[in-house]
Structure 1
Amino acid sequence: MSTGEVVYLPRWQPGGSTVGPHRGRDAGGLGTFRDQVPFLRLPDARRVDIRATLRDPFEGTYVRRFETRTAIEVWALVDLSASMRFRGEADRMALVADLCAGLAHSATRIGDAFGLIGCDDCIREDVFLPATRRQGIAMERAARLATAVCAGNSARGLAAVAVRLAGRPKMLFVISDFRWPEALIEEVLSSLALNDVIPVLLADRTEDEALPSFGLMEFDDLEAGGRRVVFMRPSLRRRWHERERARLDRLHRIASGYGRPPFRLDVRFDAEALSRHLMTT
């Protein structure tokens, strides 16, 4: 299992009293120097700035104010509908487990908390981990995702996650193949929009790019059940590609409106590529 280091930076300055690695929005007596303020605004005699006080022509007393360093919560919200059982060039749920292990390792190593919620038609309590700063527990629960049961008909349970995560903003990785109705994508991402939302798109070349121009193909419908035999031909292949591009364009448009554009994950988990995406979007 890959546990590469994921470098991330939240889009907001977090509040709260839990000490962590991120620049907080509050000011206090410890942390990185921020500015000087009159003593009456921060009456802490231990932080009196002698030079600033002596320079004030009105004989005011000044104290040094520092930025607090604050922890955040990083959550993985995982689609466990039946389509996530797909295996092509890679095992889809093994990729999810690698990604979540990387997030769990990276978050807990620097003092942030990692939480996990799995959903199909509803929130799956058997795939739920409250946010924790204990690396061993977080890594163990992430590893279990490789063998999680994916049998639901939809990912509608993700629409109920926002209520459970109410409170201070969090960093949310929504992990799915996003083969959902457009209305559900809109509903889920809009409900989470007060947080820093990063959609992670599980993709596989064999679903689209590797389609032959001619020949009989047998398809498994993982969510509805059953199989279909299709005679693939150039016109059908072209329409297939057009529909897939349109689907990805819709996802990009909706996701960018509520948070960050999607990160594509295929073949293997690349912590460096995810870090670049997080630092540049």
Structure 2
Amino acid sequence: MSTGEVVYLPHWRPGGSVVGAHRGRDAGGLGTFRDQVPFLRLPDARRIDIRATLRDPFEGTYVRRFETRTAIEVWALVDLSASMRFRGEADRMALVADLCTGLATSATRIGDAFGLIGCDDAIREDVFLPATRRQGIAMEHAARIGDMHCRGASARGLAEVPRRLAGRPKLVLVISDFRWPEALIEQVFSGLALHDVVPVLLADASEDEALPSFGLMEFDDLEGGGRRTVFMRPSLRRRWHARERERLDTLRRIASTYGRSPFRLEARFDAEMLSRHLMTT
């Protein structure tokens, strides 16, 4: 697999008439051999199976049926709230841009369509790309996501996205740090339940693991809470870690109910690790 290329396997058999790389639920005259059926079920004289026809004691005529290969849509839903401005070991939005570029390149290369929606308090129309199979346009919009301003006080716009994704099931990656209220997580994932949903959790070791046991620390609430100075001590550090574990457990529980388990993205984008997650979960 080339650098930055993402391999994925949808959890459903797609339908539709657009030829692609995925095993479809429909059968027809072209594709991978599936089975033999009576001629009346698939009246295509070009596909008559002579051997099966001659073996039938009732003198029925059989044709070969093939499994179609079908294209799907791959969507990246990106949280653009202010907390996504965080920079620790890596620039969070640079990671998002690398991920989206890898998805856009990989999807369009095999005939799938790539779409992009950015949200903060509402859907950002300046960060909306309808699903396209044109690789140049898809890659351009995906790369540009790294330069977007993250200024919203919340990611509530993601709750409006399901109406934009009506129709056939799609592969949907929700990309965020998921520092949301539990009610919003539930609302977003339940609204996307029709689709194959993959949460991508943006994380950074400096947010949690690097906390000292003792000392004064200054925290900056990127979503409007201002700066606070806190005296870190072992008991507060333990509570901090407990809250983080509880937050991540909540995300895993809700995500697994409506889709797949979260993929953790930190430090750098590794297309091979994401591919393994998408192929095995």
- Residues 4-42 of structure 1 show CA distances to partners (whole Å, capped at 9, x for unaligned) of 111100000000000000000001110000000000000
TM-score (norm 1): 0.99
- 1:111 corresponds to which residue? 111
- 1:64-143 correspondence runs (5 A): 64-143=64-143
Between the aligned partners of 1:262 and 1:32, the Cα distance in structure 2 is 33
Distance 1:32 1:164 in 2: 33
Residue correspondence of structure 1 range 260-279 to structure 2 within 5 A: 260-279=260-279
Match of 1:220 in 2: 220
Secondary structure at 1:253 match in 2: helix
**2:35 — aligned with what?**
35
Quote the residue 2:60 is aligned against.
60
Cα drift, residue 3 of structure 1: 5.5
Matched letter for residue 275 of structure 1: S
Structure 2 counterpart of 1:196, one-letter code: D
| Structure 1 Cα separation of the partners of residues 71 and 42 of structure 2 | 23
Unaligned runs of 5+ in 1: none
Cα-to-partner distance string for 1:64-94 (whole Å, 9 max, x where unaligned): 0001100000000000000000000000000
Question: Which AA in structure 1 matches 2:222?
Answer: L
Instruction: Give the deviation of 1:225 after TM superposition.
Output: 4.1
- Confirm whether residue 18 of structure 1 aligns to residue 7 of structure 2: no
Question: Residue type matched to 1:49 in 2?
Answer: D
Amino acid at match of 1:67: E
Q: Distance in 2 between matches of 1:233 and 1:175?
A: 32
Whether the 8 Å CA contact 1:3–1:98 is kept in 2: the answer is no
Asked if structure 2 preserves the Cα contact closer than 8 Å seen for 1:263 and 1:277, the reply is yes
Q: Percent identity?
A: 86
Following superposition of structure 1 onto structure 2, how do residues 194-205 of structure 1 map, counting pairs within 5 Å?
194-205=194-205
Shift of 1:224: 1.5
Q: Would you say the 8 A contact 1:3–1:105 is kept in 2?
A: no
Within 5 Å, give how 1:230-245 maps onto structure 2.
230-245=230-245
Amino acid at match of 1:43: P
Which residue matches 2:252? 252
Helix, strand or coil at the partner of 2:174: strand
Note the alpha carbon deviations across 1:92-146, whole angstroms, 9 max, x for none.
Answer: 0000000000100110111100000000010000000000111111111011111
Measure, in 2, the Cα distance between the counterparts of 1:264 and 1:138: 24
**TM-score, reference length from structure 2:** 0.99
In the other structure, the counterpart of 1:168 is 168
